[in-house]
A and B are shown apart, each in its own frame.
Chain A
């Protein structure tokens, strides 16, 4: 009886999100997979499933195109670097913020957290446009930077429409996604461990590197996944702030569906992107688990 009720309750609570996920993740993914084997229609969309002779219009053409053209791999690699740099920069910037919040007085914590998510109160695109103004050639920042460069006899550099602009905005937009999981982790740390370490003669750096950081690894991995995966596929930021060389894989995928009206090839690129993101998340989870396991055995 209890197990039945238990099972029923479980279904009631987990059912709706499960249905939601299946409907809005699995089904579109399935459509994408099916579309990737078709050919583009004359005027957009997909060509009819049956050819004029009645045979099925299924082909590996889009996969072959992807596999045989190094161009698309190069763009994946480039997007990977942008996402990796973004993730590392977010980690370096978010760690002190998260530990500061975790160590601050309980009364202030929710206020500080609120400040971290404050940017979400305004629209994503408006925040990107704000960066256009901040980085513009006639704005104070660009003048100051180029003034300093000029003093050393260097050529002035544009800040807007550059890889720099794209990275700054990627970091800015994703920073809260790194702070929050780190905070959630750091807040739970048992401070007596640090006291014990200090008693045993560990200096501040050793206490951080041997105690706090290893314990925070699950938070680091969660934050890294939350930053890396969306940054890997983003298209709006390079579209708006990027220069002529900052087209990333997200932009190429968007082009397939809009400019080129080539759903099959766009689907192939999306599938590869999803698989790569899954593989990287899996890798991170595996490393994370191993790290925690090693830690556990080391302390045992």
Chain B
């Protein structure tokens, strides 16, 4: 009896397996290796209807993870969305396939200010997708109660302010992002590579560390939403998401974006095609689709990304257009900096400092 049952169960499992694999085999597939929460399901559905194919998404949570996977020889991805400095690393590592501009008529929609950058001259391999800034996110109720400023990195780094929010602050668990913020706070360039300045930045971080609850790149959205954490160093679209979640949960507070007057890191993410892409045809079709104004506008309206697509502007809700962290006004734009890749020696030095920061009391 038992045997019968297990055999039947096995048969059922096989049946299900084939039922699931059947249509998938028949359908064309585009493998999209994307950031978590970086495209709306509605947009995917629209593309699937248009291409009569299936989009298979896998996710990464930072550029380093993407680079590490590809450097270790991962294959099977068509389209990736690395940040500019990672695009540069991928180009130098011979990981990308050149774009066929003839198949991308919508490339004309991209704001020329974001084209032809030093990361990829002539956009041979990459085309901008969306962008985010690394800023301050805060619980408006608590900040008002405590009378804290929300437009300066001092609120993350200066013990004078931190005393009031001890244990309620998180910073990104990313050496590059946190060093950039500390360097900007000190008045240096985010891309400063002077060891002396790095030491100063490390000191700033060490002095502030006792007041922080955690280095956190994964759960701070949730912690902001439930009200455990009141102020974070985080990505603009994550903070946007935290506010949506707080609204949906009916919280009495809002999670707002604070753009520091000192400046901030800008991350432009770009669509690229992997050198071993199984379907470069679908990849081009997808890239062109995402460069269409209406589809690109979804990235802003639904997930709060900054948008380098000029054709998207007309579809974007005015509420979001007014957010300086998503659409930085000219004066702020001048103070935004994109991070550059470090050399192996610089990466070693920075990692050593980072480990020391983490180990320090």
Which A residues lie at the B interface, using CB under 8 A? Answer: 39-45, 47, 65, 69, 71-72, 74-75, 78, 129, 132, 136-138, 158, 160-161, 239-240, 242-245, 247, 251-252, 255-262, 265
Are A247 and B355 neighbours in the complex by a CB distance under 8 Å? Answer: yes
Are B65 and A258 neighbours in the complex by a CB distance under 8 Å? Answer: yes
Which B residues lie at the A interface, using CB under 8 A? Answer: 62, 64-65, 67-68, 71-72, 89-90, 92-93, 167, 173-176, 209-210, 212-216, 218-219, 222, 226-228, 341, 343-344, 347-348, 350-352, 354-356, 358-361
Q: 30 A-B Cβ contacts within 8 A?
A: A40-B348, A41-B71, A41-B93, A42-B343, A43-B71, A44-B68, A44-B89, A65-B348, A71-B359, A129-B219, A158-B213, A160-B228, A161-B167, A161-B214, A239-B218, A243-B214, A244-B212, A244-B215, A247-B355, A247-B359, A251-B358, A255-B354, A257-B68, A260-B175, A260-B347, A261-B68, A262-B347, A262-B348, A262-B351, A265-B348
A260 to B348, alpha carbons, bound, how many Å?
Answer: 7
* With known contacts A43-B341, A136-B228, A75–B213 Cβ distance under 8 A: no
Measured CB to CB, the nearest residue on chain A to B94 is A43
Are B228 and A261 neighbours in the complex by a CB distance under 8 Å? Answer: no
Q: How far is the CB of A149 from chain B (nearest CB, A)?
A: 14
Q: How far is the CB of A254 from chain B (nearest CB, A)?
A: 10
Residues of A near B355 (CB, < 8 A) are: 71-72, 75, 247, 252, 255
Residues of A near B360 (CB, < 8 A) are: 245
Q: How far is the CB of B217 from chain A (nearest CB, A)?
A: 9
Measured CB to CB, the nearest residue on chain A to B348 is A262
A6 to B167, alpha carbons, bound, how many Å?
Answer: 66
Are A247 and B358 neighbours in the complex by a CB distance under 8 Å? Answer: yes
* With known contacts A136-B228, A258-B64, A243–B350 Cβ distance under 8 A: no
Residues of B near A71 (CB, < 8 A) are: 352, 355-356, 359
* With known contacts A138-B226, A239-B173, A161–B213 Cβ distance under 8 A: yes
Q: Which of A39, A74, A158, A260 touches B350 (beta carbons < 8 Å)? A: A260
11 additional A-B pairs beyond A39-B344, A255-B175, beta carbons within 8 Å, are A42-B344, A44-B89, A71-B356, A138-B228, A158-B213, A244-B213, A245-B359, A251-B358, A255-B351, A261-B71, A261-B347
Residues of B near A265 (CB, < 8 A) are: 348
Q: How far is the CB of B351 from chain A (nearest CB, A)?
A: 4
Residues of B near A40 (CB, < 8 A) are: 344, 347-348
Residues of A near B359 (CB, < 8 A) are: 71, 74-75, 78, 245, 247
Measured CB to CB, the nearest residue on chain B to A242 is B214
A240 to B222, alpha carbons, bound, how many Å?
Answer: 13
Are A43 and B92 neighbours in the complex by a CB distance under 8 Å? Answer: yes
Q: How far is the CB of A142 from chain B (nearest CB, A)?
A: 10
Are A259 and B67 neighbours in the complex by a CB distance under 8 Å? Answer: no
A41 to B343, alpha carbons, bound, how many Å?
Answer: 9
Are B344 and A261 neighbours in the complex by a CB distance under 8 Å? Answer: yes
Residues of A near B176 (CB, < 8 A) are: 259
Residues of A near B167 (CB, < 8 A) are: 137, 158, 161
A65 to B90, alpha carbons, bound, how many Å?
Answer: 28
Residues of B near A247 (CB, < 8 A) are: 355, 358-359
Are A260 and B215 neighbours in the complex by a CB distance under 8 Å? Answer: no
Q: Which of B65, B68, B214, B351 touches A244 (beta carbons < 8 Å)? A: B214
A44 to B226, alpha carbons, bound, how many Å?
Answer: 38
A68 to B212, alpha carbons, bound, how many Å?
Answer: 30
